[in-house]
Structures are given as C-alpha cells and as structure tokens.
Amino acid sequence: MSDQRPALTTFSEDEIAFKEAIRDFAESEVKPLVHKMDAEKTMNPDLIKKLFEMGLMGIESQEQYGGAEGSFTMACIAIEELGRIDASVSVIVDVQNTLVTNAFLRWGSDAQKERYLPQLATGKVGAYALSESVSGSDAFALKLKAEDKGEKYILNGHKLWITSANEAEIFLVFANLDFDKGYKGITGFIVEKGMPGFSVGKKEDKLGIRASSTCELIFENCEVPKENVIGEVGKGYKIAIETLNEGRIGIGAQMVGIAQGAYEATLNYVKEREQFGKPLSKFQGVQFQLAEMRTQIEASRLMVYNAARLKDAGLDFVKEAAMAKLFSSRVAEKVASMAVDLFGGNGFTTEYPVEKFYRDSKIGQIYEGTSNMQLQTIAKMELS
C-alpha cells in the first residue's frame, strides 16, 4: 500500500524573503533581456555574472566554499522564480545547483570540494554530461570510452545535448572504463575546459530554452588526471542515477515557474483586453479556464515542494520526484497552451510572452528523464 505522508510545503520567513528577493532580481535584471536572448539564442554573459553575485550558483554549498549554505528547497525556489520570467536562465541555475554542485557535495573528495566548489559558487559554470546519441532514456548504453593509462585516463567519444556547454568550464562526464562489466564499468570524471583533447562541438538550434546552450562534447584522446575521478571507479552509474533523481525536482520547479509566468501574463491580459464591449475576464468561459490553470499550478507546486522537503529531510523522495516532474511538466505545457488560446491571435506572435512560455514548456517532458521514464519509475516503486 502507498504511504500517506503529509505534504511538507510551508515556507519559512527566510524562504519567503529569499523568494521575494529572487523575484525582484528576475523582474529587474532578467526580464529586460529575455526577448533579445531568445532571438539571438545566447545567454547574456553579464547576466551570468550577476547570477554568481546574487549567490544563485552555489545555493547549497557551504560558506567555506563561497556558497550560500542554503537548502535544496531554496534552490527550487530560485529555479521556480527564474522560470517564471525565463526558462533558459532558470535551467542554467538548475543544472549548476541540483546536478553539478549536488554531485560534488555528495560524491566529491575533500580535495575536489576544496578545488571546485568555490569556483562553481563564485565564477565558473558547470555542466553535466551523461547523454549520447545512443543513450538517452537508456542512459547506461553510453559509448564514451575511458582507458587507464597509469598517471591519467584517456577519454574518446562524444556527448550530445549537454546543457550550458557553451558557458561551462567544469564538466561532470560519465564514461565506461570496462564495457565487459556493462553499467558497472561507468565512472564519473571531472573534465575542465582547456584539457588536451577536449572541445565543445555543435550547438543545437532548439524549439525552446533557446538562450540556454545545448551542445555536443568531443573527446579525442582527452587527458584526465587520475585525481579527477569523482566517487569510486565503476560507481558512476550510482552517481548518475541518484543525482538525476534530485535534479528532477529542480526541473519540476522550473515547470511550475513557466506555468506561473504564463498564467500571470494571461491574467493581466484578460483584464485589459475587451471583446463585445467588456473585458475578457468578465466572460464565465474565460473565468473557468483561469480557475483551471490556477488549480493545476497549485497542485504541481505542492508536489514539487513536497518532494524537495522530503529530500531536505533525508527521507525517500524518488517516487515523489518522478511524480512531481511528470505532473508539473504536463501542467506547464497545458497552462501555456491555454494562455496562447486566451491571447488569441496575439498569443501566436513574439510580441507577447506566452508563445515563448509555450515553446519552453515542452522540454520538461523530455530532459532529465522523459515522462515515460517517470511513469516507469512510479509504477515500479508502487509495485515493488
């Protein structure tokens, strides 16, 4: 029988203050740049610097490493509030915190933490490199090869669809040291920009989150020092799975932000737009759609923060994370689509924000585990 734990979703005064600060930052610093960054498919470098200055790139890192020493829930709050304005900015913060920094905090050696966490908190973007052309949902079918050459490892192969790759300087890369062992040969490596044999390749031209770079990584006899193995040799699969389980909550928060942004834009629009001599908001059909949107957003938000609270409390959260990502990504697409409908012809143009929310929402059902993979996780845990 499924457990019946209560939702742990009440925000503290500190979290509310943090949420308001991020909202102010997003409105003043991010919003003016959204249209230009989307059109040019480029993240503004000065904005990235401001993300670091705001302490948003090392939320969970301890103060000794230059971080804010906040909670996972606070990271989700930041991801949501940024997603409300721009999903591209939201995802660079998401990957930095819930995947890269998270992996270092859990699996890095003391020396690795001392070297890399201060860089990640104060000035260098990180990227998480698992996916390949043949290993999407089947993450452990990866073909990137690692060879032990005594004082170093040599990596050969490619990665695809790596978020923040253009901006990143520190990469967590998963490769296989022993294909005969299958997934038990997979090992995590820390690769730095500029290492011999490593380069960033083609940048994808995407439907949504266009300011967020998504690129190929190329490894041609890439030399990685022995001390750059993260965790244990052959345990990369464990790092990958457990980090992604946590990262899915972050994607859920991003999707809540997208839905909230689309809803707020729509709410303002229907109050001002008149048809048949009165504002659209006076029509019951419109009112019912707004009520449906708002209810769906609130439900997804509760699911996301319940999963985040469980994670912070050290309780099992894997099923809740899968459900939160599954549901919130569906809600984001549905709410953004309804927003385009309610904007009418204006909603189909780039002059108004809802078409971008609609484009950005789709990725939530794809990256960090497709919706079908979330369904598989939920079903497996319910039936176990």
For 183-215, how does the pLDDT look when each residue is reduced to its tens digit (9 = 90+)?
999 999 999 999 999 999 999 999 999 999 999
Catalytic residues: 368
Q: Domain spans of the chain?
A: 13-124, 128-234, 238-383
CB of 312 within 8 A of CB of 318?
A: no
The answer on pLDDT for 278 being more than 90 is yes
d(CA 168, CA 191): 11
CA distances from 123 to 96, 126, 217, 219, 376 (A): 11, 10, 21, 25, 38
Angle between helices 236-272 and 72-83 (to 10 degrees): 40
At residue 140, the pLDDT reads 84
Q: Torsion over CA of 310, 313, 316 and 321, rounded to 10 degrees?
A: 30
Tokens of 127: 């990227």
Q: Where are the alpha helices (DSSP H) in the chain?
A: 13-25, 34-40, 45-53, 72-83, 87-94, 102-107, 110-122, 236-272, 284-312, 318-343, 354-361, 371-383
d(CA 155, CA 259): 40
d(CA 76, CA 118): 21
Mean per-residue pLDDT for 47-63?
98
Mean per-residue pLDDT for 242-269?
97
Tokens of 121: 């908190």
For 1-25, how does the pLDDT look when each residue is reduced to its tens digit (9 = 90+)?
344 444 445 799 999 999 999 999 9
Class of domain 13-124: mainly alpha
Nearest to 303 by CA among 292, 319, 290, 315: 319
Reduced to 3 states (helix: H, G, I; strand: E, B; else coil), residue 138 is coil
Averaged pLDDT of the chain: 96
Q: State which fold the 238-383 domain adopts.
A: Butyryl-CoA Dehydrogenase, subunit A; domain 3 (1.20.140)
Tokens of 17: 């203050």
For 314-350, how does the pLDDT look when each residue is reduced to its tens digit (9 = 90+)?
999 999 999 999 999 999 999 999 999 999 999 999 9
- Which amino acid makes up residue 305? Y
CA distances from 369 to 88, 217, 236, 243, 245 (A): 18, 20, 17, 12, 9
198-203 and 168-176: which strand pairing? unpaired
CB of 113 within 8 A of CB of 65?
A: yes
Superfamily of domain 128-234: Butyryl-CoA Dehydrogenase, subunit A, domain 2 (2.40.110.10)
Nearest to 208 by CA among 94, 38, 349: 38
